[in-house]
């Protein structure tokens, strides 16, 4: 008999009843060091006092009114994002997938309004992940995500990861946009180098093509800058944000330049829940905390410390791990053994990690993780690795 919850997930047999900063406490009282953070969502850890206060205060006032009316909390969030980024305008969504949908629509509508309705193609890259809607799976294009869900939304061109020559060859007078994650998260913490991102920006500038960056996983301070593209010194035309921006409350956004958003007039897009007062009050508070130079400098410092310790872990367990990947607090360990065995052994050592493609385990802790917790995380990963070795 089918379970009452649609069985689309492979869940670990763990139930958490409480979260405190970087820790999750299970029903049986065991304390797990959380390097999953709800898959890069709990950017400020669990039950951050400022977020609890903001959420409960807003909950006592008004939760939802719909976009029929003015929403000052949405305005405040959009203003904060515009102030701190390349963007001139923001549409607030509930998730990363919805942000991907709008990014695709916005790019196509742009060219339609420019009198070039044939420019509909969007270039994407192998290993990408943009969500689970029909549009987002077509954008990623992998067989794993798309098989059985056809007919797929047409108009995506899938290119090898990080291949600028392939992009040059693929650009033509039907190209609307290039959509890419600066660091692939689900794809295995695979970072594009700065030169590639700058190359994409140049190609977009010469052809008018829109550059869409998906910073759903790598954005919101995770790399030690507010957004990952800042490292390459470029800006996109459209950007998708979600996960960390809500600190655990469902929230996403599409950020865009005035030019790129030109086609999105009244009535062209909408959402019942998107931009509701509860989510936006929390998001504005998250922005206030993360978009702060001192906070981001700490992420960079802790990321370097964590990475250094992980290099030692890889050296100590060369049969389990191959290499460390990533930057800031979006880190990965490429495994020599099956990655899910390491994740599983982590449960035994009371440390939570996330599997990714390319046989990688992801470490996406709260950006507020302390130096002591980083040391503890490496000690627990060391125990997990030893357990995998012992079982081999
Ligand atoms: C890069 C990227 N884009 C989009 C998404 C989809 O976001 P959501 O799961 O919030 O719909 C994800 C989720 O993992 C992601 O990592």
Best mutation site among 213, 216, 244, 357 for ligand 1, i.e. most ligand atoms within 8 A of its Cβ?
216
Ligand 1 atom closest to the Cα of residue 136 is 4
3-state helix, strand, coil in the chain (%, to 5): 40, 20, 40
| 371 and 358 co-located in one domain | yes
pLDDT of residue 392: 86
Q: Are residues 277 and 361 in the same domain?
A: no
Q: Does ligand 1 come within 6 angstroms of the Cβ of 130?
A: yes
Q: In which domain, by residue range, is 354 found?
A: 16-34+294-391
Q: How many domains does the chain have?
A: 2
Question: Ligand 1 in contact with 97 (CB < 6 A)?
Answer: yes
259 in the same domain as 153: yes
CA of 379 to the centre of ligand 1 (A): 30
Domain assignment present for residue 365? The answer is yes
pLDDT tens digit sequence for 296-308: 999 999 999 999 9
Q: Is the CB of 124 under 6 A from ligand 1?
A: no
* Whether residues 84 and 131 fall in one domain: yes
User: For residues 226 and 297, what is the distance between their CA atoms, to the nearest angstrom?
Assistant: 10
Query: What's the rounded Cα separation, in Å, for the pair 74 and 70?
Result: 9
For helices 371-391 and 339-348, the axis angle rounded to 10 degrees is 110
- Please tell me whether residues 178 and 304 are part of one structural domain: no
Q: Please identify, among 255, 290, 325, the residue that sits at the C-terminal boundary of a domain.
A: 290
The three-state (H, E, C) secondary structure of 259-291, written as one string:
CHHHHCCCCCCCCCCCCCHHHHHHHHHHHHHHC
Domain assignment of residue 312, yes or no = yes
327 shares a domain with 237: no
Q: Are residues 311 and 361 in the same domain?
A: yes
In a domain, 2, yes or no: no
Query: Is the bond leading into 151 cis (omega within 30 degrees of zero)?
Result: yes
What parts of the chain have a pLDDT lower than 50?
none
- 157 and 276 assigned to the same domain: yes
Question: Is ligand 1 within 6 A of the CB of residue 242?
Answer: yes
In a domain, 174, yes or no: yes
Q: Are residues 201 and 141 in the same domain?
A: yes
Distance 28 CA to ligand 1 centre (A): 31
| Ligand 1 atom nearest residue 96's Cα | 7
Distance between Cα 189 and ligand 1 center (Å) = 14
Co-location of 67 and 158 in the same domain: yes
- Expressed in angstroms and rounded, the spacing between residue 364 Cα and the centre of ligand 1 is 14
CATH code, domain with 235: 3.40.640.10
Q: Do 259 and 207 belong to one domain?
A: yes
Distance from the alpha carbon of residue 240 to the mean position of ligand 1, in angstroms: 9
DSSP state of 142: -
Measured distance CA(283)–CA(203) in Å, rounded: 34
The residue whose CA is least distant from atom 3 of ligand 1 is: 130
Residues 298, 286 within the same domain = no
């Amino acid at each position: 008999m089918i379970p009452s919850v649609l069985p689309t997930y492979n869940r670990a047999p763990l139930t958490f009843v409480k979260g405190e900063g970087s820790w999750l406490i299970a029903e049986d009282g065991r304390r797990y060091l959380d390097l999953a953070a709800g898959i890069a969502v709990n950017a400020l850890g669990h039950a951050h006092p400022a977020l609890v206060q903001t959420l409960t205060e807003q909950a006592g006032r008004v939760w939802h009114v719909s976009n029929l009316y003015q929403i000052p909390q949405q305005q405040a969030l959009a203003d904060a994002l515009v102030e701190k980024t390349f963007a001139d305008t923001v549409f607030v969504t509930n998730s990363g997938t919805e942000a991907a949908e709008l990014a695709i629509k916005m790019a196509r509508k742009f060219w339609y309004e420019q009198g070039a309705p044939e420019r509909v193609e969007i270039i994407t890259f192998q290993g990408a992940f943009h969500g689970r809607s029909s549009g987002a799976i077509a954008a990623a294009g992998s067989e794993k995500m798309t098989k059985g869900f056809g007919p797929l939304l047409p108009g995506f061109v899938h290119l090898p990861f990080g291949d600028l020559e392939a992009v040059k060859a693929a650009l033509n007078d039907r190209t609307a946009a290039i959509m890419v994650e600066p660091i692939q998260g689900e794809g295995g913490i695979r970072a594009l180098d700065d030169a590639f991102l700058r190359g994409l920006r140049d190609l977009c500038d010469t052809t008018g093509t829109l550059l869409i960056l998906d910073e759903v996983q790598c954005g919101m301070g995770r790399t030690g800058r507010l957004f990952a593209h800042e490292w390459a010194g470029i800006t996109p035309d459209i950007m998708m944000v979600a996960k960390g921006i809500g600190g655990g409350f469902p929230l996403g956004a599409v950020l865009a330049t005035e030019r790129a958003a030109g086609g999105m007039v009244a009535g062209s897009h909408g959402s019942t829940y998107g931009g509701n007062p509860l989510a936006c009050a929390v998001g504005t508070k998250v922005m206030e905390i993360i978009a702060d130079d001192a906070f981001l400098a700490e992420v960079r410092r802790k990321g370097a410390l964590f990475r250094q310790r992980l290099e030692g872990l890889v050296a100590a367990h060369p049969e389990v791990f191959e290499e460390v990947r990533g930057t800031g607090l979006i880190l990965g360990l490429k495994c020599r053994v099956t990655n899910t065995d390491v994740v599983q052994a982590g449960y035994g050592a009371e440390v939570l990690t996330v599997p990714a493609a390319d046989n990688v385990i992801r470490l996406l802790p709260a950006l507020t993780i302390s130096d002591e917790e980083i040391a503890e995380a490496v000690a627990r990963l060391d125990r997990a690795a030893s357990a995998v070795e012992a079982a081999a």
